[in-house]
Amino acid sequence: MVMCVYNGAQALPATLQGVLDQQGCDFEFIVVNDGSSDGSGQLLDTWAARDARLRVIHQTNTGLTRALVRGCADARGDFIARQDCGDVSLPGRLARQVERLKHEAATVAVSCHTRFIGPRDEALYQIEISEDSLNAGLGAGLAGGRGPSHHGSMMMRREAYQAAGGYRAAFYFAQDLDLWTRLIEKGRFAVVPEVLYLARLEPQSISGTQTQEQVQLAKLIIGASQARRSGEPEDAFLAAAAEIRPVKRGDLARRVALGNYFIGSCLRMGNPQAAARYFHQALVNDPWLWRARLRWIQTRMAGIGR
C-alpha cells in the first residue's frame, strides 16, 4: 500500500490504524512524507518503530504525483493499493481486493464502493459503480463515463502499473484518471460491491478547491486517450496538462467557500443545523457568495422549526 502525506498529522492516526488493522493478507505500508512541517514525519517514525510493516520515506515537498511515483517505485509486493491521508480503509478491504486479483488473471485493478464523510464525520453521500459501467467508461477513455469511486479505493497489479507507465508527472491533479485510462488498456477493472473505504471531504481539499483544474485535465486525458489509441502522439496533451497547476492563493478563499457550500448542500435535507454551520463558514470565506447566504437562512429556519 502506498500513501503520501503533507501536513496531515491530525488525521494520520485514524488512517494508519485502519490500514495496520487489516487482516487476511500480508502487506507493506509505504508512506511518503512529502516535506511536512507539522509533525507528520515524527509521528510516522514513531508508528514505524512499533510496526515493521510501515516504511516511511522522507523527502522535500514535490506534490502528490511525484510523491506517488516515488512510493510506487519502492513497492515490493505483487499488488499496489492506494490510501489517502485522512481516509479510512474499513475491515476486510485489502483481503477482498487481493482475493479478486489472485483469482482473476485478466483483472489488473480492483476498486470498491466509497462512502464520503464530512470534516466532523457527517455522512454526505456514497458512490457505487458497477464493473460494467467502470470498464465501459475507462474503455472509452472517460468519454461519457467515469472512473472508480475514489483514488484511494484502488488496488492494482504492480506489473500492470509499470507496463502502463505509472503515474505521470505532467498531471499535478487528476493523475489517477490519467493512470486508469492507460491501465485499462492492460486488462479489466473489478469492483468489490461493498463499502470498504471512507473518504473524508474537507473544504480545502483538492477536490474542493481545484475542481475547475480537474475538469480541464479530464478533457486533456480524454484527448490523450483518443490520440494514443489512434496511434497518434500525446505530446500536445501532456504539455497542456503540465501547465495546469494549483490555483493562486488570492483565489483560494472563494474556492474554500465553495467547498463549504458543497458540504452544506449535502447535509441540507438531513441535517439542517450542521448544514447551516458550513453555509455560515462559506460566508466567512466569501461574504459575496449569495447562494450560501440564502441557504444559511433557509437551514437556520429549518433547524429552529424542528
* Domain span(s) for CATH 3.90.550.10 in the chain: 2-210
Name the strand (E) or helix (H) holding 178: helix 175-183
Single-letter amino acid, residue 169: A
Report which DSSP code applies to 82. B
pTM: 0.92
- Predicted confidence at residue 248, as pLDDT, reads 62
- Predicted confidence at residue 249, as pLDDT, reads 58
d(CA 202, CA 194): 23
pLDDT at 130 over 50: yes
Q: Which residue has the higher pLDDT, 197 or 218?
A: 197
Helix, strand counts (H, E) of the chain: 13, 9
User: In terms of Cα–Cα distance, which of 72, 70, 73, 95 is closest to 19?
Assistant: 95
d(CA 227, CA 236): 10
Tens of pLDDT, residue by residue over 42-97, are 999 999 999 999 999 999 999 999 999 999 999 999 999 999 999 999 999 999 99
Q: Which residue has the higher pLDDT, 304 or 146?
A: 146
CATH of domain 2-210: 3.90.550.10
Single-letter amino acid, residue 131: E
- Predicted confidence at residue 305, as pLDDT, reads 45
- Give me the helices (H) in 196-306, please: 206-209, 211-229, 235-242, 249-267, 272-285, 290-304
Single-letter amino acid, residue 297: I
Tens of pLDDT, residue by residue over 199-246, are 999 988 755 556 778 889 999 999 999 999 999 999 999 999 999 987
Q: Which residue has the higher pLDDT, 146 or 285?
A: 285
